[in-house]
Amino acid sequence: MEDVAERAGVSAMTVSRVLNTPEKVRPDTRARVLDAVRELSYRPNSAARSLVTGRSGVLGVVSFDTTLYGPASTLHGIEQAARSEDYLVTTVSVSALSRRSIGEAVDRLRFQSVDGVVIVAPHESAADGLRHLPPDLPAVVVGASDDLPVPVAAVDQVTGAVRATKHLLSLGHRTVWHVSGPQDWIDASGRIAGWRSVLEAEGREIPEPLLGDWSARSGFEHGKRLARDPEVTAVFVANDHMATGMLRALREAGRQVPQDVSVVGFDDVPEAAYLWPPLSTVRQNFAEVGRLSFQLLLDRIDGRAGAPHRMIEPELVVRESTAARLPG
Amino acid sequence: MEDVAERAGVSAMTVSRVLNTPEKVRPDTRARVLDAVRELSYRPNSAARSLVTGRSGVLGVVSFDTTLYGPASTLHGIEQAARSEDYLVTTVSVSALSRRSIGEAVDRLRFQSVDGVVIVAPHESAADGLRHLPPDLPAVVVGASDDLPVPVAAVDQVTGAVRATKHLLSLGHRTVWHVSGPQDWIDASGRIAGWRSVLEAEGREIPEPLLGDWSARSGFEHGKRLARDPEVTAVFVANDHMATGMLRALREAGRQVPQDVSVVGFDDVPEAAYLWPPLSTVRQNFAEVGRLSFQLLLDRIDGRAGAPHRMIEPELVVRESTAARLPG
DNA sequence: CAAATGGATGATAGCGATAACATCATTTGA
DNA sequence: TCAAATGATGTTATCGCTATCATCCATTTG
């Protein structure tokens, strides 16, 4: 920086000003400094800058398995939003959402002096970890219950499940079976709650939900079981991957979708529209959740109050895996 | 740090030593310092540390669309490997792999003083950007051609395509059609080359490859076309998502898979085994690629020579979307 | 037993930037 | 016309840490 200053015939301070508050420098001086910067291809040292400003320009994201479509999309949304404000994003992927693993992940990020963290923790057991976040670190949570002492951005799982279930009932099905995600996932319990509430309100029989693990495999296994029961004409599956396995199981058992059984998924992964049959599902706008959570975090970092919780409505996408129940 | 030193009755320098080179401090002093650290819950300031050491402990990853299964898995592999060496990973997702976008992404990372970068750039047009990487920044490329001046880690696409194609021919098919990815993708051209080489070597007819865009949609469109041609009995589709669309198109046109047409995909996404029928495909170990690229990068950062290029063999996974050609 | 050796610890000087205040030149207004 | 206000730039101190060399003490050695 000293070199740049000398070359431009100014002091280091002026160089710093050109880089940070250009409007406070006379245009001609500014131009000279910028030329010098270019000629020497000078790059400010971020470590020195953060040392004195106390800000790093880096955000941390703690997320469960980032290879999954949901987390990956959320992360992408955060990153895109962050870029527009000149933040960089550092990710820590955890393989368990316990209090300890979250604490460790946050510590690693803090050690690198991130300016704030987004925690993608759609899991019951994470709540404990979230309640014990260091109070001096701006933090936002994605996809958790809203009784936390930090802002939360999430898709309204209950509403999504309500829409899926109502859709199936409106097609004339007597009741709706449900293959759920693991119950300690917030998303899974929200979907169960939504599904159950509709059946209750309508006075329908409420079958025991079948516990899946989000994988196509578990959807397949449960599908084999459901296929044997001729009473089953409508299934709400808690995500598209399990629904994929479900479709295969029904097919292999000789049951037509949607003629014999209607299936609704959740997520709207990109392939959902090209499964056979194209899958009716509930679309979650993960990218938007990412964007929102970044905004919430930015509010906290900059000391603005900001909304405490932000819910996004999911959208029912009707394709060809659902149809009116055949008479009889 | 001053406080910790005082509390432990030593100088700041000794505290620093305890944290960085514990073996150079007498065990009892060390214990006292560590106690003080704990009691004050002191956390060293990474900015100050990097300012003086010139290292940040952060790696950068530049990747094309991180919501895709491949990039997301690679990223995950890098991150896991990095964690074990106490590195953190910062990601920049670019929406185009041009020289400019790569340059900008690398600049943003450099601005944050990353210790090195991994560039996931399976795209022709990126090569130019890669040739102009700043020479003073340790860099490694994933999934590019191997004529670059930086180490490359990649899955051997040609071998994968060869295996898929040979598999189909061995089932008695006269020739194999191919739905490719965009030709300016390294992976796509590698798969085309492998497929073509087998057909040439065996003296089979070589149909014009059908250009897809990796999406299920494009697989579906091409599938509709191929379904009309009764000559088509075997298709090698360049990724699983397009293969998903292909399966639907064939089905809708009344052609049975695998009885009438055999289909092989590429990637082995987690759902592939639960499509209907379960998809035969070529598995790429993305996580391993991520790990390898991190190793290559670490070698460069630490000034070791290290292997220049690392190729990983993909694996053919035969499921139920391929079968012997029906006689006649 | 003095000198040499070596291990543990301390004092000092930056690393490269910015905050805060000081300075100087110019403009403004009565 | 001149004091006060304004705006551009410079000076100094400091952020929190580690490299380097100095110092001290306890051994070992001749």
Å separating the CA of residue A23 from the C1' of nucleotide D3: 28
Percent of chain A whose predicted confidence (pLDDT) is above 70: 99
Q: Does A273 contact B79 at a Cβ distance shorter than 8 Å?
A: no
List the nucleotides on chain D closer than 7 A to a protein CB. 7-12, 14-20
Give chain B positions within 8 Å (CB) of A96. none
List the nucleotides on chain C closer than 7 A to a protein CB. 7-12, 14-20
- How far apart are the CA of B204 and the nearest CA of chain A, in angstroms? 31
Å separating the CA of residue A84 from the C1' of nucleotide D15: 28
B176: left (phi over 0), alpha (psi -120 to 50) or beta: beta
User: With 80 as the cut, is the pLDDT of residue B306 above it?
Assistant: no
| Average pLDDT value over all residues in chain B | 93
For residue range B183-231, list pLDDT tens digits in order: 989 999 999 999 999 999 999 999 999 999 999 999 999 999 999 999 9
SS3 string, chain A, reads CHHHHHHHCCCHHHHHHHHHCHHHCCHHHHHHHHHHHHHCCCCCCHHHHHHHHCCCCEEEEEEECCCCHHHHHHHHHHHHHHHHCCCEEEEEEECCCCHHHHHHHHHHHHHCCCCEEEEECCECCHHHHHHCCCCCCCEEEECCCCCCCCCEEEECHHHHHHHHHHHHHHCCCCCCEEEECCCCEHHHHHHHHHHHHHHHHCCCCCCCCEECCCCHHHHHHHHHHHHCCCCCCEEEECCHHHHHHHHHHHHHCCCCCCCCCEEECCECCHHHHHCCCCCEEEECCHHHHHHHHHHHHHHHHCCCCCCCEEEECCEEECCCCCCCCCCC
Its sign, for the CA torsion A120, A124, A129, A130, is positive
B153 CB inside 7 Å of strand C: no
Side-chain-side CA neighbours of A254 within 13 Å: the count stands at: 3
Beta-carbon count within 10 A of A57 CB: 19
pLDDT band, residue A217 (cuts 50/70/90): very high
Q: Does B113 contact A46 at a Cβ distance shorter than 8 Å?
A: yes
The pLDDT value recorded for residue A158 is: 97
- Six-digit token pair at B141? 């490329």
User: Residues of B57-66 as b/e, b for ≥16 C-beta within 10 angstroms?
Assistant: bbbbbbbbbb
- Six-digit token pair at A248? 């295969």
Domains of chain A: 2-44 (1.10.260.40), 56-155+286-312 (3.40.50.2300), 157-284 (3.40.50.2300)
Which of A12, A19, A44, A13 shows the shortest CA–CA distance to A34?
A: A19
Instruction: Examine residue B277 and say whether the peptide bond preceding it is cis (omega within 30 degrees of 0).
Output: yes
Å separating the CA of residue B54 from the C1' of nucleotide C4: 38
- How far apart are the CA of B108 and the nearest CA of chain A, in angstroms? 8
Average pLDDT over residues A67-88: 95
Specify the amino acid at residue A214.
W
Question: Torsion angle of alpha carbons A11, A17, A23, A26, nearest 10°?
Answer: 0
Which of B19, B26, B21 shows the shortest CA–CA distance to B48?
A: B19
Range 44-63, chain B: CB under 7 Å to any strand D atom: 44-45, 48-49, 51-53
Give chain B positions within 8 Å (CB) of A248. 274-278
The pLDDT value recorded for residue B132 is: 84
- Six-digit token pair at A20? 């940070």
Question: In this structure, are residues A322 and A262 in contact, taking their beta carbons and an 8 Å threshold?
Answer: yes
- How far apart are the CA of B201 and the nearest CA of chain A, in angstroms? 35
User: With 60 as the cut, is the pLDDT of residue B107 above it?
Assistant: yes
The pLDDT value recorded for residue B286 is: 96
Report how far residue A51's alpha carbon sits from residue A213's, in angstroms, rounded to the nearest whole number. Answer: 45
Residue with CA nearest C1' of nucleotide D20: B13
Q: Which has the minimum average pLDDT: A84-98, A208-222, B190-204?
A: A84-98
Give chain A positions within 8 Å (CB) of B110. 43
Looking at per-residue confidence, does A209 or B101 come out higher? A209
User: With 60 as the cut, is the pLDDT of residue B328 above it?
Assistant: no
For residue range A14-54, list pLDDT tens digits in order: 989 999 888 888 888 899 899 989 999 899 999 999 999 99
The pLDDT value recorded for residue B148 is: 82
Question: In this structure, are residues A57 and A115 in contact, taking their beta carbons and an 8 Å threshold?
Answer: yes
Average pLDDT over residues B98-123: 91
Q: Does A51 contact B46 at a Cβ distance shorter than 8 Å?
A: no
- Six-digit token pair at A218? 């578990």
Most B-contacting residue of A59, A88, A218 (CB-CB within 10 A), to test interface: A88
Most B-contacting residue of A274, A286, A288, A291 (CB-CB within 10 A), to test interface: A274
Give chain B positions within 8 Å (CB) of A72. 66-67, 72
Q: Which residue of B has its CA nearest to A57?
A: B112
For residue range B61-96, list pLDDT tens digits in order: 999 999 999 999 999 999 999 999 999 999 999 988
The pLDDT value recorded for residue A152 is: 93
Report how far residue B114's alpha carbon sits from residue B197's, in angstroms, rounded to the nearest whole number. Answer: 42
Q: Which has the minimum average pLDDT: A71-75, A111-115, A133-137?
A: A133-137
Residue B311, SS3 per DSSP: strand
A55 CB inside 7 Å of strand C: no
- Residue A46's nearest nucleotide, by CA–C1', is C17
- Residue B14's nearest nucleotide, by CA–C1', is C9
Average pLDDT over residues B163-172: 98
User: With 80 as the cut, is the pLDDT of residue A146 above it?
Assistant: no
B279 CB inside 7 Å of strand C: no
Q: Does B46 contact A111 at a Cβ distance shorter than 8 Å?
A: yes
Give chain B positions within 8 Å (CB) of A251. 276
